[in-house]
Amino acid sequence: MRLFLSLLARNRLALAGGIVLSFVVLLALVTPLLPLADPDVTNTADRFKPPFSEGALLGTDHLGRDLLSRLLWGTRLSLAVGFAAAIIAATVGAAIGIIAGYYGGRTDNVIMRGVDMLMAFPYILLALAIVAALGPGLMNALIAVAAVNVPFFARNIRGITVGIAHKEFVDAARLAGLSDTRIILTEILPNVVPVIVIAMSTTVGWMILETAGLSFLGLGSQPPQADLGSMLGEARAALITNPHTSIVPGVMILIIVMSINLLGDGIRDALDPRLRSGALSRPMAATLVKRATPAPEPREEGVLTLTDLETQFHVGKRIYRAVGGVSLHVAPGECLGVIGESGSGKSVTALSIMGLVASPPGVVTGGSARFGETELIGARYETLRSLRGDRVAYIFQDPLATLHPLYKIGDQLIEAIRVHHSVSRSEARARALKLLEDVRIPNAESRLENYPHEMSGGMRQRVGIAMALANDPDVIIADEPTTALDVTVQAQILSLLNELRQSRGLAVIFITHDFGVVAQLCDRVAVMYAGRIVETGPTGAVLERPAHPYTKRLIACVPELGGGRRELHAIPGLPPAVDALPPGCAFAPRCDKAAEACRQGNIDLAGTGDRAVRCLDPEAPLTEAAE
Ligand code: SF4
C-alpha cells in the first residue's frame, strides 16, 4: 500500500487530481454543517443576482435560489450517485465476467451473448429506455447508469479471468481439492481486483456525466432537488442573458470529471508499474542514443567490436546503469561466451548492438558497436534494419515467444529470407527446407506446414536457429538459447551450433549463465558483473586459473558429472541494484578478499595478452609464466 501511494504521489497530474477531488469530496461531506441558505427556497424578487452579490457569493438562479448552496448540495448528490453507480456496475459486471470466464463453455456463451445484446444498443439510448420504463427520478437514473455500464465491466473482467483460469496456480488449487467458489475467491478475485479498480477509476467520471445528462434531460433529479445536471438543465433558458447560472454547475462538472480522470490514470499507472517504466508503451524502432562524446575508435579487431558501450534505463528520476562501458570483440569463426548472473547486463549488451533495447526506457549513452566498418550505435534505422537478421542474427531464449503463433513455420522462414533477398517464393521455400534439414529437423518437408505450438521445445529452438541462419549471417548472437531445454536436447543444440559455426565460419556471441556450456562451446569468455566485464580470456585459461573472485565462485557453482564428491558453493548475497552501484568494485559486498582500497574508486580492466581482470587482488596471475 505504501509503495502504491508513493508511486501515485510521484505522478504530479494524478496528485493534483487527487488533491482537487479530495477537496471537492470534503466540501460535499461538510455541506450540511456549513452556514448555507436553504437550496430549495425560492425568492423571485432576487432572481438572477450576479456572482459576488451581497448574500449570494455565486449569485442566484431564475427562482432566486442561492447558487452556492445549490451547487454544494448538487455536487454532493451527483458524487453520491456517480460513485454508487460505479460501485454497482463494477460489482455486478465483475461477478458476471468472473463467472463467464471461469466456467467457460456454455455458461460463458449464454452470459456473453446476453452482454453482447446489451452492448448492441448505444449507451445513452439504453439509459433513456430504462428510465422511460422505470419513470423519472434520481434513483431510477442511478439504476439506468449502472445497468448500461455493467456490460463494459463484464467484458473486461471476463477477458482477464479466461487468461487466469488456465494458469498453473489455478490447476494446483483444483488439485488441492478447493471448491470452485473458494478458487474464485482466493485465486481469481485477487488477480482481477486491480483491473476492477483501474476500470472503476477511469469510468466513474463518465458515470457522473451520464447521470448529469439524464438530469439535464429532466429524467434524473426532480425539482426542487438540485444535482449538477438538473442545475444545468434549468439554466438552459438563461444561457445567454445570465450565463453564470450555467457556468457555475458546468465548471464544477468539469473540475470533478477532470480530477477523477487524472487520478484514475495515476491509479492505473501505479497499479501497473510496467506502464510507468514504459514497458508497455510502444517502443521506438531503434534504441534511443544520447552520447555525450563521439563514438570511440575500436581498440580491437573483429567482425563485431564493442568499445566502451554504455546502456541505461531511465525510469522516472531513476537511472539504471545496465551496461557500464563494455568492450569486446569477436572474429569470424570464433565463439565468444558472455557469462554472468541474471541482471549482470549480458542480454542488454547483446540487444544494444542492433538497437533492440526498448526505448523508452532504454538509452545508449556512450560507446561504439562496429560491424566491420559500419558504426551501429546511432546508425540510421534503415541501416540497422538491413543488417538485422541478415548480417547479424539473434537466437533468443524462448522460441515460443519469438515465433508467431498464427503462422506456419515454413511461412515464417520464407518471410525471413524474402525480407532481405528478392527471391521467388518457391526458391525461398526450397531454402527454408534446406535450413530445416541443416538443423536436423526430421520430416522437414511436413514440418514446414506446422505451427509453432505443434512442435516440441527443442524443435522450436532448432527452428529459431534455422531462422537465424536464413540469410547466412556473419554474426549470430545467441541469448541463452538452451536455458529452457532439457540437458539432452541442450547437448544436441550446442553441438549443432558448434558444427554450423565451424562449417560456415560464423562469429558467435553466446550468452549464458552456465560455465559448463561455455567450456563446451566457446573459444574465449567474458565474465560480466553489474554491467561491466570483470574478467576475459581464452576459455581454457579462465577455467583453469580464474583470476577474478567472482569468476572463481561462478566456476565453483558448476557440478561436474563423475567428478567425485564436491561441495557446490553458492555465491553469498545478491548482485547490486544497478541504480545504486557501490563506489569502487561492485563485487566488494560479496567478496571475502575485499579491502578498503577496493571500495575507493574505479578499478580498470587490466591485463596482459588476451587476458584481463578487473580486480586489485586477483585469485591467480593472468599468465602461467607469472605463477
Ligand atoms: S577488487 Fe577487491 S573486492 Fe573486488 S573482487 Fe577484487 S579483491 Fe574482491
For residue 254, report the distance from its CA to the centre of ligand 1, in Å.
Answer: 61
Query: Is 90 exceeded by the pLDDT of residue 237?
Result: no
Encode pLDDT of 397-420 as tens digits.
887 788 999 999 999 999 999 999
Average pLDDT, the chain: 88
Structure confidence at residue 280 (pLDDT) = 52
**Closest ligand 1 atom, CA of 599?**
3
Cβ(598) to ligand 1 under 6 A?
yes
Same domain, 77 and 211: yes
Q: How far apart are CA 336 and CA 130, in angstroms?
A: 70
Mutate to test the pocket of ligand 1, among 532, 590, 617 (most ligand atoms within 8 A of CB): 617
Q: How far apart are CA 276 and CA 8, in angstroms?
A: 10
Phi, psi dihedral angles at 405 (to 5 degrees) = -70, -20
In a domain, 145, yes or no: yes
For residue 598, report the distance from its CA to the centre of ligand 1, in Å.
Answer: 6
For residue 341, report the distance from its CA to the centre of ligand 1, in Å.
Answer: 17
CATH number reported for the structural domain that contains residue 82 in this entry:
1.10.3720.10
In a domain, 191, yes or no: yes
For residue 554, report the distance from its CA to the centre of ligand 1, in Å.
Answer: 15
Structure confidence at residue 278 (pLDDT) = 53
Query: Is 50 exceeded by the pLDDT of residue 119?
Result: yes
Q: Which of 245, 271, 297 is the last residue of a domain?
A: 271
Mutate to test the pocket of ligand 1, among 615, 619, 622 (most ligand atoms within 8 A of CB): 615
Cβ(616) to ligand 1 under 6 A?
yes
In a domain, 580, yes or no: no
Who has greater pLDDT, 582 or 93? 93
Name the residue range of residue 438's domain: 392-470
Q: How far apart are CA 103 and CA 159, in angstroms?
A: 12
Same domain, 152 and 7: yes
Who has greater pLDDT, 615 or 561? 615
Q: Is 408 helix (H, G, I), strand (E, B) or coil?
A: coil
In a domain, 601, yes or no: no
Mutate to test the pocket of ligand 1, among 527, 550, 552, 616 (most ligand atoms within 8 A of CB): 616
Cα angle 355, 528, 523; round to 5: 90
Cβ(416) to ligand 1 under 6 A?
no
Strand partners, 476: 393, 508
For residue 615, report the distance from its CA to the centre of ligand 1, in Å.
Answer: 5
For residue 577, report the distance from its CA to the centre of ligand 1, in Å.
Answer: 18
For residue 93, report the distance from its CA to the centre of ligand 1, in Å.
Answer: 59
**Closest ligand 1 atom, CA of 549?**
5
**Closest ligand 1 atom, CA of 587?**
4
Q: Is 365 helix (H, G, I), strand (E, B) or coil?
A: strand
Cβ(298) to ligand 1 under 6 A?
no
Q: Which of 449, 470, 491 is the last residue of a domain?
A: 470
Average pLDDT over residues 324-352: 93
Cβ(591) to ligand 1 under 6 A?
yes
Structure confidence at residue 488 (pLDDT) = 77
Cell numbers that stand for 522 in this block = 566457446
- Confirm if 546 and 552 have CB atoms less than 8 A apart: yes
Structure confidence at residue 627 (pLDDT) = 47
In a domain, 518, yes or no: no
Encode pLDDT of 369-378 as tens digits.
999 999 999 9
Encode pLDDT of 500-518 as tens digits.
888 888 999 999 988 888 8
Q: How far apart are CA 433 and CA 447, in angstroms?
A: 9
Q: How many domains does the chain have?
A: 2
Q: Which of 470, 504, 529 is the last residue of a domain?
A: 470
Distances in Å between the Cα of 104 and the Cα atoms of 101, 170, 172 are: 5, 14, 18
Q: Whose CA is nearest to atom 1 of ligand 1?
A: 615
Contacts of 15 (CB under 8 A, 6+ apart): 8, 9, 266
For residue 344, report the distance from its CA to the centre of ligand 1, in Å.
Answer: 17
Strands 532-538 vs 611-613: parallel, antiparallel or unpaired: antiparallel
How is residue 485 annotated by DSSP? S
- Confirm if 197 and 267 have CB atoms less than 8 A apart: yes
Encode pLDDT of 2-19 as tens digits.
666 776 777 788 889 999
> Which pLDDT band holds residue 186 (cuts at 50, 70, 90)?
very high
**Closest ligand 1 atom, CA of 603?**
1
For residue 601, report the distance from its CA to the centre of ligand 1, in Å.
Answer: 12
Query: Is 60 exceeded by the pLDDT of residue 273?
Result: no
In this structure, of 97-111, 162-176, 400-414, 490-504, the range with the lowest mean pLDDT score is 490-504
Q: What is the DSSP string of 458-469?
A: HHHHHHHHHHHH
Q: How far apart are CA 166 and CA 207, in angstroms?
A: 33
Cβ(585) to ligand 1 under 6 A?
yes
For residue 471, report the distance from its CA to the centre of ligand 1, in Å.
Answer: 44
Mutate to test the pocket of ligand 1, among 528, 593, 603 (most ligand atoms within 8 A of CB): 593
In a domain, 466, yes or no: yes
In a domain, 581, yes or no: no
Determine what percent of the chain is predicted with pLDDT higher than 70: 95
Cβ(594) to ligand 1 under 6 A?
yes
Q: What is the DSSP string of 117-145?
A: HHHTS-HHHHHHHHHHHH-SSHHHHHHHH
CA atoms within 13 Å, Cβ hemisphere of 365:
15
Distances in Å between the Cα of 521 and the Cα atoms of 271, 273, 374, 463 are: 44, 39, 28, 20
Structure confidence at residue 102 (pLDDT) = 94
In a domain, 431, yes or no: yes
